[in-house]
Chain A
Amino acid sequence: MAHTHSVIYKVDYYVSFCLSHLFLYLSLKNLINFIIKYFSWFVFIFYVTISCMLLFQNNPYQHHVYLTSANRVCSAVYGVFNNVTSYFHLHEINEDLHNRNALLEMEVINLRNQLNSVKLMLPDSTAAMAASEHGFDFILAHVISNSISQPQNYITINRGSLDGIAPEMGVIDQNGVVGIVNVVGPHSARVISLLNPQFRLSCKVKGSDFFGSLVWDGKDAYHAVLEEMPKHVKFAKGDTIVTSGYSSVFPEGLIVGTIVEQIKDKNDNFFSLRIALSTDFTQLSTVRTIKNNRQAEIMALDENNGKGKEAEK
């Protein structure tokens, strides 16, 4: 009796073992069938996810150099195209340079006159103080690619880390501010153009000390909006807008543009100004990258400040 009982138990066990395997097998088969049947959907979702991850990675400083135009292949291709197209606007650019040169020469003469008149009043010993260390160096670069029609525009230049370019350097041309260096490859770098809503530039009306931030509104390549101007600032149409010098990127007083009209700000406590940009982004050719010799010093100071504040908390 006991013997048959154990046999039944064994058979029972065996059947249940087989059944469970069968079910597992069936469910696996179902799963595999499901995957095969809807494989295209998985592929589709996979690619869409990757694209969206790239698309919504908002901070442009986190972009990898291989995924930007600062990589080697892109800069080589753009270099070839640039060899051809760089001649197209030479006439206008030459004109701009002549104008700028004349302006600077005038300024040199004026300053020299002023210096001479001041020198007469001062004793000789203080004259040496005038020749103090200058804070900024220029690195010349050629624009090899430039866009103006995208919602977020970038510029590629043909100088990279080997030429001394580093992220967060300011870029200007003969007419005004162009942008800020963002991703750097060995022989090329990508610049965030002023025509990019990610880039805000601290600016002020020339001659006053009130500053606002300049941002592109995406409408066209010739205008931008100076936001957050205090309501009591006096200005006139055609006034010059210059950089405020409150960041370590751009020195104070670089020309940005001129005032076109006043427009309504999102915030009622401020007003906005529509600015005609002095830089012609449709024909950029040679730009200057500003190397701030004191930037490391200022950054270190800022960091120390931050640490001090944290310690106070």
Chain B
Amino acid sequence: MIKTILQFLLLFIILTLLQVVCNHICIFGVAIPIVYIYFLIRLPINLSVNWCMTLAFLLGLTIDIFSNTQGMNALACVVTAALRRPVFSLYFAREDDLANPIPSIQTLGFGIYIKYLLSMVLIFCILLFAIQAFTLHNLQVTMMRIAASTILSTLLIFGIDSLDTKREKRL
């Protein structure tokens, strides 16, 4: 139990630092990699939604402080965290059958995991860029940003994920 908590704390810090670096990347002026959402994806699926939202809020607020966005990431994170269970149950109905509650390729299988990951990232990107569009309305640019950022973030998160699972196999 404590080991899991420490692992997630470490993941929190690493992802925050990684996002601070990623904030400076903007490919073709549209694609912004968002990697910290991986934390929400990895949280155990049987964790209560209250805890999930609290952690999401803290994570979003930390990123907000670093990137001077004032509540933008926090709001998107909380809503994504609230939608996590419904999205998960779309692809995987039998929650009790899971041996390990932490979603990964091993526990869910490749297809379901990819679908779950892509939906979560897409939801988050739509929310984030829709909130940004409040302050700067330019529909075409917003759509481009959502599409490009979703693809880039999913690829990056998949990379991080493969590193993570490799480490787990070794252990």
Contact = CB atoms under 8 A, between A and B. Distances in A.
Interface string A50-66: 11111111000001001
A54 B76 CA distance: 13
- The interface centre, meaning the residue of B21, B50, B79, B135 with most chain A CB atoms within 10 A of its CB, is B135
Contacts of B65: 66-69, 71, 74
Contacts of B66: 69, 74, 77
B114 to A, nearest CB: 27
Contact of B75 (A40, A52, A77, A146): A52
A54 B53 contact: no
Contacts of A81: 20-21
Interface of B: 17, 20-21, 23-24, 26, 29, 32, 48-50, 53-54, 56-57, 60, 64-72, 74-75, 78-79, 82, 131-132, 135-136, 138, 141
A147 interface: yes
A154 B57 contact: no
A169 B75 CA distance: 32
Interface in A74-126: 74, 77-78, 81, 85
A51 B60 contact: yes
Contact of A197 (B48, B67, B68, B135): B135
Contacts of B48: 40
Given A43-B54, A150-B67, A218-B136, A50 B74 contact: yes
A54 B71 contact: yes
A14 interface: no
A190 interface: yes
Interface of A: 39-40, 43-44, 47-48, 50-57, 63, 66-69, 71, 74, 77-78, 81, 85, 146-152, 154, 156, 190, 197, 218-220
Q: State the 6 A-B residue pairs at the shortest beta-carbon distance, nearest first.
A: A54-B71, A51-B75, A55-B71, A151-B136, A149-B26, A154-B68
Nearest to A220: B29
Contacts of A71: 65
Contacts of B70: 54-55, 57, 63, 67
Given A47-B56, A51-B71, A197-B136, 9 more contacts: A40-B82, A48-B75, A48-B78, A51-B60, A51-B78, A54-B64, A55-B70, A55-B75, A156-B68
A44 B67 contact: no
Contacts of A156: 68
6 contacts: A51-B57, A66-B65, A71-B65, A151-B132, A152-B69, A197-B135
A217 to B, nearest CB: 9
B138 A43 contact: no
B17 A77 contact: yes
Nearest to A68: B68
A53 B71 contact: yes
Contacts of B78: 44, 47-48, 51
B77 to A, nearest CB: 9
Contact of B26 (A39, A56, A148): A148
